[in-house]
Amino acid sequence: MPVKGWIEVDELYCKGCELCVNACPPKVIGLDMKHLTSKGYHPAQLTGDGCTGCAVCAVVCPEAAIMVYRETAKVLHPV
Ligand code: SF4
Ligand code: SF4
């Protein structure tokens, strides 16, 4: 099963530069064009399924605004 991940973008720091949008391999980040941050930027957000938790977005973000989470697989041991 593919690893599932998700991100949280801290709006306080996101400046809508789109570096994460362009870097995301499965292309599941976009800017929220319906919303402006308190600083006047359209913030990045997850736009669909398919995030793998690869953290490329967090690495390229110059503002360190992205927190990446990754689902861990449950290992079932025989009894
Ligand atoms: S963790 Fe990877 S797949 Fe998920 S949004 Fe960031 S770059 Fe895209
Ligand atoms: S790279 Fe960082 S600052 Fe730029 S849009 Fe993405 S989250 Fe916002």
Residue by residue, pLDDT tens for the chain (79 residues) are 677 999 999 999 999 999 999 999 999 999 999 999 999 999 999 999 999 999 999 999 999 999 999 998 777 777 5
Report pLDDT for 79.
59
Residue numbers of the domain that contains 40? 5-70
Given ligand 2 and candidates 10, 11, 15, which is best to mutate, with the most ligand atoms within 8 Å of its CB?
15
Report pLDDT for 74.
72
Q: How many domains does the chain have?
A: 1
d(CA 17, CA 60): 11
Which atom of ligand 2 is nearest to 43's Cα?
8
Query: Is residue 78 situated within a structural domain?
Result: no
pTM: 0.90
Cβ neighbours, 10 Å, residue 5: 18
Given ligand 1 and candidates 31, 57, 71, which is best to mutate, with the most ligand atoms within 8 Å of its CB?
57
Q: How far is the CA of 79 from the centre of ligand 1 (A)?
A: 37
Report pLDDT for 73.
72
DSSP classification of residue 66: E
Query: Is residue 49 situated within a structural domain?
Result: yes
Q: Kindly identify the ligand whose nearest atom is closest to the C-alpha of 56.
A: 1
Residue 19 buriedness (CB in 10 A; 0-12 / 13-18 / 19+): middle
